[in-house]
Amino acid sequence: MLDFPRWRVVMLNALIVLSILVAIPSFLPKAWLDRIPDGVPKETISLGLDLAGGSHILLEADTAQLARDRLESLEDSVRTAMRRAEPRISIDNVSRTGGKLSFVVPDSAQIDAAREALLPITANSTGGRDWTIEVTDGNRITLSPSGTGNTTVLDQAMNSAKDVIDRRINALGTLEPTIIRQGADRIVVQVPGLQDPQALKDLIGKTAKLEFKLVDEGADPEQTAQGKARVGSQVLPYPDNPTGIPYIAVRRLGGIAGDRLTGAQQSFDSQDNQPVVNIQFDGEGGQRFARMTQQNTGKLFAIILDGQVISAPRINEPILGGSSQISGSFTVESANQLAIALNSGALPVDLKVVEERSVGPDLGADSIKSGVLAALIGTAGVLLWMVLSYGRFGVYASFALIINVAMILAVMGLFNATLTLPGIAGFVLTIGAAVDANVLINERIREERRKGRRVIQALENGYKEASRAIFDANITNVIAAVLLFIFGSGPIRGFAVVLMIGIVTSVFTAVTLTRMWVAGWVKRARPQDLNI
Amino acid sequence: MKLLKLVPDNTNIGFLKWRKIAFGISILLMVASIALVATRGLNFGVDFIGGQMVRTTFVGEQSAPVEELRESIGQLGYGEPTIQRFGAENQVSIRMKLPEGADKNPELANEMAEKIIAKVKEDHPKVRIDGVDSVSGKVSSELFEKGLFALIAAALGIAAYIWIRFEWQFGVGAIWALIHDVTLTFGLFSLTQMEFDLNTIAALLTIIGYSLNDTIVIYDRIRENLMKYRKMDMPALLDLSVNETLSRTVMTSLTILTPLVVLVLFGPDVIFGFSVAMAFGIFVGSYSTVYQSAAFLIWFGVSSDSFVPAEKIADGKVERLNEGTV
């Protein structure tokens, strides 16, 4: 038991030196780190948002909205397909209820032709079917979403939403965001060191879906004020309406979507010097915009952002150049934000902030200060107890503890693990618990001596008998820590990480290292009695 | 150097003779804890019930204008805020639960936080926002379920491990001690109305881990003694095992409690509840190891035969069993 071959001693010492070296960068100021040449390992522990300050924002997709949008665009393509069919198929009684689109083909002779026309619309790119077609009562066709259809659409929407958010945050500059998808319909955005989380939320939460639709100028203003629209029109909110009524009626069809932009910039209007956003369409978008403005010169058109009208200017002349200007009651900042949002593309799905955790840098700094202080005092207290109680063996345990701390930091640094506030607590706890192994061993040695065993025998038995309980106790702690890691979230996981690493390293330092030192001492001093 | 000995050599305290009284007290405390939780409830943080919490520092002011805040934020129409000091005199957290029937709007918690921050900033332009937590109803119930699941899974996982390593009676005894510790900690949180949040679940899981740490050390010794002293009756054997490990129990509890007490006194205010729960749990855990998990073995009829395979007893080989065959 106390026999340590030379190669093991060398290896263990090398491991100690190595872990101390790896742990050092975590204590160095950043300026020093930058001067260390590349190639030399200099991984440091990263601080969690609760210590470094920053924002954690959990976004959830509005799947109901996504399904509604999908159904709406299905209706559009169905109507187009029926109109373009040869001969034209007339449809009637169109309804979108319960997530399904259903309509009646009055001429039942055309049912097969209608079904034929629907096939290309309802198929997806992989050859499967996004919508299932069903004919009931002889001439009613019902399209219901297939299970895979909805999940693929959501999946695609979430992937591109993630990219959009990435582009928007990058447009803000020097932040180092972490953006990850979580589950089927969520995205986590973490931005360290952020001063104003509100601006971030405003930016990433904005869908930025731009549409241009013709104003229904024949609508009855009183009806519009009550939110009622004629057939073929819809009423949208228009907070800045000069007439004072915060609503406006627009034509449902014949508009164009703003997804064909190549660029957007904040600028100033040449006449009244108000902040505006200049936009440029791509080739096809420009053509469509030109056609729309040509056909409707003199009429009003509404510029709609996320379902809300921001302005409704008159088309004075056809706009052929493929670029336009969005005016509205903007400030420079809000115009700039809109430009960023438009540049990064519209979010394919509405995202809602369902969880936010932001910590200001001052609170984080306070937490680090008091956490580190507590850790230092706690360690000092534990060391004092150990030395007072076990003398030489307490000193060994103390050194083992200090190396344990270095090893935890080294392992965390190597894996780039994140230290959180509960992580500091985990650290403090690990310190207390790590010496438990030494307590067990030392108490056992005391006991064996009391029973009259000789020095060597007592030491051997002490380590052997205690290690069974040490092993079992640590396994149960590992079970708790692993479950904590699996089911915990955010900072709690940081706690679990420290706990897990601490358990493994503490068994090594508290058992193996102290045994090596004890063995070395016994060899050198050949003690006849133990002061323990 | 004269070394410190917290427990004198050859201590022999008759712990187990108090086991019936201790058991009675424990049952009483557990019933009281359950009654407390049932009537007073737990002061759930926004993690588990949804809502928002904003931490503010009123820079340049002596103390936070608590009454004024209560008034102005109450007028926002979400209900009465809970305002608590944290850290210095001029630092308060403003907590607001989600109003009833808020499931419709998943963004409500976040909107509440935004409105409250805007209001406070309007009245006190120099205020510093130190932190925002907003959790929607759906996310909070997920966090709650996950936390509860983690607790149950940890308890069962550890009990299963003890069952494999020892005997089933030991596993049940350990689970019982664990339920005891967790129930009393719940009671403490209900009594003091300290905030019960995600950190508290982490504390509870750690308490489970370390309370079992203790239990395992004593069980290990009991098993050893059961095989060594085959004629000794159970209460005496348990007393012997507890006394033999007593100095270790005291020492370990001290070394773990030392940093925890430091955390409670000097640690970050944000994890105050966490530290208190942990210190309390370790304390209760040490007690329950002796009086619950060890004493339980008597009631479950564990005897020296428990660790000897049945066929060996039949063969009459048991008498030759000694330490060497472990």
Residue ranges of the domains in chain B? 15-42+140-320, 51-135
Q: pLDDT tens, B4-56?
A: 887 887 778 888 888 888 889 999 999 999 999 999 999 998 889 899 999 99
- Which of B132, B162, B270 lies nearest to residue A197, judging by beta carbons? B132
Domain limits, chain A: 6-53+360-525, 56-60+162-356, 63-150
Q: Which of B155, B197, B145, B202 is nearest to B179 (CA)?
A: B155
The answer to whether the CB of B108 falls within 8 A of the CB of B97 is no
Residue A398: C-alpha distances to residues A330, A427, A434, A436, A513 (Å): 65, 16, 10, 12, 11
Name every residue whose Cβ is closer than 8 Å to that of residue B62 and which is 6 or more positions away in sequence: B89, B90
- Which of B134, B157, B158 lies nearest to residue A356, judging by beta carbons? B134
Mark yes or no for CB contact A475/B161 under 8 Å: yes
Q: What pLDDT was estimated at residue A401?
A: 92
Q: Which of A32, A373, A340 is nearest to B263 (CA)?
A: A373
Distance between CA B4 and CA B1 in Å, rounded? Answer: 9
Pairing of strands B91-97, B51-58: antiparallel
* CATH number of the B51-135 domain: 3.30.70.3400
Residues linked to residue A264 through DSSP beta bridges, in sequence order:
A279
Size of interface A-B (CB pairs under 8 A): 232
Q: What pLDDT was estimated at residue A57?
A: 92
Count CA within 13 A, CB hemisphere, residue A272. Answer: 7
Report the SS3 class of residue B54.
strand
- Cα dihedral B247, B248, B250, B253 in deg (nearest 10): 180
Name every residue whose Cβ is closer than 8 Å to that of residue B79 and which is 6 or more positions away in sequence: B96, B97, B99
Q: What pLDDT was estimated at residue A505?
A: 92
- Which of B4, B55, B143 lies nearest to residue A388, judging by beta carbons? B4
CATH C-level class of A6-53+360-525: mainly alpha
Mark yes or no for CB contact B266/A377 under 8 Å: yes
Distance between CA B45 and CA B50 in Å, rounded? Answer: 8
Distance from CA of A352 to the nearest CA of B (A): 6
CATH for A63-150 (1.20.1070, 3.90.1070, 3.40.50, 3.90.25) = 3.90.1070
Q: What pLDDT was estimated at residue B119?
A: 92
Q: What pLDDT was estimated at residue A2?
A: 66
Q: What is the maximum span of chain B, computed from C-alpha positions, in angstroms?
A: 87
pLDDT in tens, chain B (326 residues): 678 887 887 778 888 888 888 889 999 999 999 999 999 999 998 889 899 999 999 998 888 899 999 999 999 888 889 998 887 889 999 999 988 776 678 888 998 999 999 999 999 999 999 999 999 988 999 888 888 888 888 888 888 888 888 888 888 888 888 889 999 999 999 999 988 888 888 788 778 877 888 888 888 899 889 888 888 888 888 899 999 888 888 888 888 888 888 888 888 777 788 788 888 988 898 888 888 888 888 888 777 676 665 555 555 544 444 443 33
Distance between CA A347 and CA A69 in Å, rounded? Answer: 13
Q: What is the maximum span of chain A, computed from C-alpha positions, in angstroms?
A: 110
Count CA within 13 A, CB hemisphere, residue A335. Answer: 19
Distance between CA B265 and CA B275 in Å, rounded? Answer: 9
Polymer length of chain B: 326
Residue B158: C-alpha distances to residues A476, A483, B107, B153, B211 (Å): 6, 11, 39, 8, 11
Distance between CA A482 and CA A500 in Å, rounded? Answer: 7
Whether domain B15-42+140-320 has CATH 1.10.10.60? no
Mark yes or no for CB contact A360/B212 under 8 Å: no
Q: What pLDDT was estimated at residue B281?
A: 87
Mutate to test the interface with B, among A206, A353, A354 (most CBs of B within 10 A): A354
Place of tokens 């319909």: A185
Q: What pLDDT was estimated at residue A119?
A: 84
Residues linked to residue A100 through DSSP beta bridges, in sequence order:
A97
Q: What pLDDT was estimated at residue B311?
A: 55
Alpha helices in A269-322 (DSSP H): 283-295
Q: Which residues of chain A have pLDDT under 70?
A: 1-2, 30, 39, 41, 125, 127, 174, 490-491
Report the SS3 class of residue B103.
helix
The dihedral through the CA atoms of A162, A168, A171, A175 has a sign that is negative
Report the SS3 class of residue A256.
strand
Report the SS3 class of residue B58.
strand
- Which of A58, A432, A484 lies nearest to residue B258, judging by beta carbons? A432
Instruction: Specify the fold of A56-60+162-356.
Output: Gyrase A; domain 2 (3.30.1360)
Q: Does A356 touch chain B (CB under 8 A)?
A: yes
Task: Let me know the angle formed at the C-alpha of B147 by B145 and B149, rounded to the nearest 5 degrees.
Answer: 65
Distance between CA B252 and CA B161 in Å, rounded? Answer: 22
Q: What pLDDT was estimated at residue B323?
A: 40
